[in-house]
Structure 1
Amino acid sequence: MRVMVIVKATEDSENPLPPNPEAMAEMGRFNQQLIAAGIMPPDTGIGLKPSSQGKRIAFDGTDRTVIDGPFPATRELVAGFWIWTVKDVDEAVAWVKRCPNPMPGPSEIEIRPLYEAEDLE
């Protein structure tokens, strides 16, 4: 099964400081473990720039409205993600528990299974 592992945004990710070399190296080692285990293809752990650099497009019938960031409700935003292939959600949970904290302070990571073709038949 495939899952999206979502790093939830925090005030730190929305107002980023220069990267911490030790934290970047620790996350790099974790990503290498995921790759070596066949959980994640190379170059698919993705960090996102702050929502201040993003845009949303709101749909209402045929109308489209562009909304510039930053976006409110920081806890509901995504700061980064991985796509993993795991045997089940429990395996994804076990891997996330091994993950270094992606933020300088408290943070959350969410795991969401992806729809596969057989789910839609």
Structure 2
Amino acid sequence: MRFMIIRKADAATEAETDPAPSVELMDAMAAYNMEMIKAGVFLGGDGLQPSRKGARVKVSREGGKPVVTDGPFTETKELIAGFTMIQAASFEEALDWVKRWPPEDGPVELELRQVYEFDDFQAGEKSEIWNEMEKAFDKLPGRGG
């Protein structure tokens, strides 16, 4: 099972200047990631730049023109500052990895979410485009190819 560890944004990650993380934090995150790599659970992850460098896009079902809102966004608690993708045998195992998050990054709010797999959506016969997409996904880096 794949899981995403979501690192919520805060005032530091949304700061108007881009302060470099401390050496202690960088080393702690590197050690944490290496521990997961050695355990064979790490699939990937990255930090995200502040929302002022991003945009939100709303797309309607009716096929109207997408509406773009440039950042920054004011509700910091609703933003994501980064993510880590892991593979674990169970939710409990994944949660154990989240609990090991480096305290040097604190105080921080993390969220753990299981990722849907293709089989979660399709039971029975699959369409041609679905089969084509699954084969294409399987060739992507980190997805078996």
State the TM-score, normalizing by the size of structure 1.
0.90
Mapped contact 1:31–1:45 kept (Cα < 8 A):
no
Cα distance in structure 1, aligned partners of 2:85 and 2:104: 16
Matched, 1:107 2:108: yes
Partner of 1:66: 68
Q: Deviations over 1:46-97 (max 9, x none)?
A: 0000001001111233221111000121111000001110011111111111
Mapped contact 2:2–2:87 kept (Cα < 8 A):
yes
Inter-CA distance 79–102: structure 2 relative to 1 (3 Å threshold): farther
Mapped contact 2:52–2:73 kept (Cα < 8 A):
yes
Mapped contact 1:56–1:66 kept (Cα < 8 A):
yes
Cα distance in structure 1, aligned partners of 2:102 and 2:68: 35
Matched, 1:79 2:78: no
Partner of 1:89: 91
Partner of 1:120: 121
State the TM-score, normalizing by the size of structure 2.
0.76
Provide the aligned C-alpha RMSD in A: 1.4
Q: Percent identity?
A: 41
Partner of 2:7: 7
Inter-CA distance 118–102: structure 2 relative to 1 (3 Å threshold): farther
Report which structure shows greater RCO (CA 8 Å, sep ≥6).
Answer: 1
Question: What is the Cα deviation at residue 102 of structure 1?
Answer: 6.3
Which residues of structure 2 form unaligned runs of 5+?
Answer: 123-145
* Structure with the higher fraction of residues in strand conformation: 1
Which residues of structure 1 form unaligned runs of 5+?
Answer: none
Cα distance in structure 2, aligned partners of 1:80 and 1:101: 16
SS in 2 for 1:45: strand
Whichever of the two has the greater Rg, that structure is: 2
